Amino acid sequence: MNAVEFILAGMLAAATPFLLAALGELVVERAGVLNLGVEGLMAFGAVIAFIIVYHGGGHFIAFIAAGICGALLSLVFALIALGFRANQVATGLAIGILGQGLSALFGKSYESLTVKGLPKIGIPGLADLPVIGGLFVQDSVVWLSLLATLCIWATFAFTKTGLVIRAVGENPKAAHAIGYPVIAVRVAAVAFGGMMAGLAGAYASVVYTPLWADGMIAGRGWIAIALVVFGTWLTGRVFLGACLFGAVSLMSLAAQTTGLDLPSQLLSSLPYIVTIIVLGIISADRRLLKLNGVASLGEPFER
């Protein structure tokens, strides 16, 4: 298998933790809320899922539990940032620290243990294509994540729900005036984002690299938040960004196998460096950000 085939085959799986978390944060930010706790929510979901799979609960239950736990922890964020109108940046950071702490606490006796991942499902016909065939052999969660991307895109493009979320994020006062429950919509969006982050963490710990290590999320939650900016709050672009980061994280692996003489620390920091560079390039276009950005992002709503 050459490097191109390797990256094509693995890209979607590597992208999935980024994708799930970023899709969740996209919905949260579209509703006008900035939740910076994604890294901690992912870590919390990851440890819950790992413990359940390790004790034989199975992947299905593990993902459900991780989603519920992520949503519950993000509701603490909602209570404090939306209920008590606390600073969203500080609240998000606190939830992040708390989630990472809980994950380390619960995961302590599971350090370096492994579990079995998920089998891959190929699409008949397409899977046998040369070079790009690997793209069509993925585990079930990857296929479901692609479906989720489609659903979220369609929700924002065609449904009233999507319209209400956007109205609440763009102009909460006007949305309130025409009778939409601003706070309730935002709480629901935050819970959805927490659930998606929990699922993303679960994918990282029980499917993508099915082994437990403290700090295994390794900045992926933060990159997911950056991806929402890269995607200028558009579902399709967030998906492309996640694929790019999936490819970048695989490239560091591919570079090591091809015997490129680069320090492994440089390759490990590649995703972070790419994030910084892309963030600079996208943000420099102020008009683009202003056009697609969410007007009331991070501001508390007061009647």
Partner 1 sequence: MSMTHFVPNLVRRERASRKAMLLAPPLALAAAILLNLALYVLMGRDPAAVVHAMLLEPFLSWSSFSEVLLKTGPLLLIAQGLAIGFRAKVFNIGAEGQFILGAIFASAIPIWFPQATGGWIWPAMLLIGAIGGALWAGITAFWRVRLNANEILVSLMLSLVAAQLLYYLLLGPWKDPNGFNFPQSVMFQYDAMVPTLFAGTRVNVSLLIALALSLAAWVFMQRSFMGYKLQVGGLAPRAAGYAGFSEGGAIWLSLLIGGFAAGLAGAAEVAGPLGQLQRSISTGYGYSAIIVAYLGGLHPIGIVISSLVMAAISIGGDNAMVSANLPIAAVRVFQGSLLLAYLVAVAFVRYRLEWPQISARSPS
The residues that touch partner 1, with contacts defined as CB under 8 A, are 36, 40, 76, 80, 83-87, 89-91, 93-105, 108, 214, 218-219, 222-223, 225-226, 229, 263, 265-266, 268-269, 272-273, 275-276, 279-281, 283-284, 286, 289, 302
Minimum CB–partner distance for residue 64 and partner 1 (Å): 23
Minimum CB–partner distance for residue 93 and partner 1 (Å): 6
Minimum CB–partner distance for residue 47 and partner 1 (Å): 11
Nearer CB in complex with partner 1: 84/125: 84
Nearer CB in complex with partner 1: 112/265: 265
Nearer CB in complex with partner 1: 151/266: 266
Q: Work out the end-to-end distance of the chain between its first and last CA atoms, rounded to an integer number of angstroms.
A: 60
Nearer CB in complex with partner 1: 124/261: 261
Minimum CB–partner distance for residue 271 and partner 1 (Å): 9
Q: What tokens does 149 get?
A: 């991307």
Which residue(s) pair with 122 in the sheet? 137
Helix (H) or strand (E) holding 137: strand 137-139
Nearer CB in complex with partner 1: 4/89: 89
Identity (one letter) of the amino acid at 63? F
Helix (H) or strand (E) holding 121: strand 120-122
Cβ atoms of residues 137 and 122 within 8 Å: yes
Where do the H-state alpha helices sit in the chain?
3-30, 38-54, 59-77, 88-107, 140-158, 160-170, 172-177, 182-203, 220-230, 235-257, 264-268, 270-284, 286-292
Minimum CB–partner distance for residue 150 and partner 1 (Å): 27
